[in-house]
Amino acid sequence: MMETGPPLLEVENIEKRFGGVRALQGASLSIAEGETVALVGDNGAGKSTLVKAVAGVQPADSGTIRLRGREVAIRSAKDAGALGVEVLYQDLALANTLDVAANVFLGDEPLWLKLGWFSVPDTRRMDAETAATLDRLRIDIPDPKRPVANLSGGQRQAVAIGRTIHRGRRELLILDEPTAALGVEEVRKVLALLRSLRDEGQTMIIVSHDLEHVFQVSDRIAVMRQGRVQAVVRTSEVTKTDIVRLIVGDIEDAVA
Ligand SMILES: Nc1ncnc2c1ncn2[C@@H]1O[C@H](COP(=O)(O)OP(=O)(O)OP(=O)(O)O)[C@@H](O)[C@H]1O
Ligand SMILES: [Mg+2]
């Protein structure tokens, strides 16, 4: 890959405490534009906390975040969104009482009619675009008119991913365990989708416990342990055994 300009994202020395728990203890990570980095590590290593710091949902206590070389203050999810950072969380945030299309468009509904404060969403367009998005994902939701509370875990995950891709290209797309709740066939589809997003040049951080999936979609792998990124390696240059050993702290740390 040709390096041009500063990395898309640089996080440096991020610290985050929850009471007595030091969830992040000087975590640093750098990601080039167009790159897909898998973030791995044992339960409690700090992956979700790091992602939430970049996403602004749980801002860091200290440390620096730069986008394209420019230091940015990310103190809320709104700050992150304005900078083009979009996150798909491990603990899904869907509006349970709304149907699939309403969730795909949440906060961004096309209007059929707008008169001052009075507006009517263009539900026909929403339904059609939602069907096209789910079609692209090739994930089947039998009745998209049902409130999403009634969907299975995998279907809910599909809706969340549909919402993410429907919004189009982002500076940075972060996915926390995107395949965790899915069945075998759904996993295959989501992995194919992630690969096609990568081919389109979307920069991504993907948190996953599934090393099989990690090896299928990532350019590099960042290994977290005890609140730090302990190693970053090129996926093509390592084996799953290497990664397992890095996760448990069995071999020397490495940086690629
Ligand atoms: N809101 C919170 N309040 C208190 N402690 C927290 C909170 N969120 C995370 N922690 C703690 O911070 C540490 C890192 O947690 P984090 O969720 O980032 O781990 P993780 O690497 O995402 O793990 P997993 O693979 O299980 O999702 C853990 O010790 C966890 O208990
Ligand atoms: Mg987590």
pLDDT tens-place string over residues 96-118? 777 888 877 776 777 787 877 78
* CATH code where residue 201 lies: 3.40.50.300
Q: Does 47 score more than 90 pLDDT?
A: yes
Q: Which atom of ligand 1 is nearest to the CA of 16?
A: 12
Q: What is the pLDDT of residue 3?
A: 56
Examine residue 95 and state whether it is found in any structural domain, yes or no. Answer: no
Examine residue 17 and state whether it is found in any structural domain, yes or no. Answer: yes
Examine residue 91 and state whether it is found in any structural domain, yes or no. Answer: no
Domain extent, residue 42, equals: 9-84+170-248
Q: Which atom of ligand 1 is nearest to the CA of 90?
A: 27
Examine residue 136 and state whether it is found in any structural domain, yes or no. Answer: no
Examine residue 165 and state whether it is found in any structural domain, yes or no. Answer: no
What is the distance between the alpha carbons of residues 158 and 187, in angstroms, rounded to a whole number? 10
Tens of pLDDT along 177-193?
Answer: 888 767 787 788 788 88
Examine residue 161 and state whether it is found in any structural domain, yes or no. Answer: no
Q: Provide the number of structural domains found in the chain.
A: 1
Q: How far is the centre of ligand 1, averaged over its atoms, from the C-alpha of 50 (Å)?
A: 9
Q: What is the pLDDT of residue 254?
A: 57
Mean pLDDT of 195-215: 92
Examine residue 181 and state whether it is found in any structural domain, yes or no. Answer: yes
Question: Can you give the pTM of this predicted structure?
Answer: 0.83
Mutation pick for ligand 1 pocket among 14, 24, 43, 61 (CB with most ligand atoms within 8 Å) = 43
Q: Does 137 score more than 80 pLDDT?
A: no
Backbone angles phi, psi at 124, to 5 degrees: -65, -45
Examine residue 125 and state whether it is found in any structural domain, yes or no. Answer: no
Question: Ligand 1 within 6 A of 91 CB?
Answer: no
| Band of residue 75 on the pLDDT scale cut at 50, 70, 90 | very high
Which residue did the predictor score with more confidence, 50 or 120?
50
**Share of residues in the chain with pLDDT > 90 (%):** 50
Q: What is the pLDDT of residue 165?
A: 75
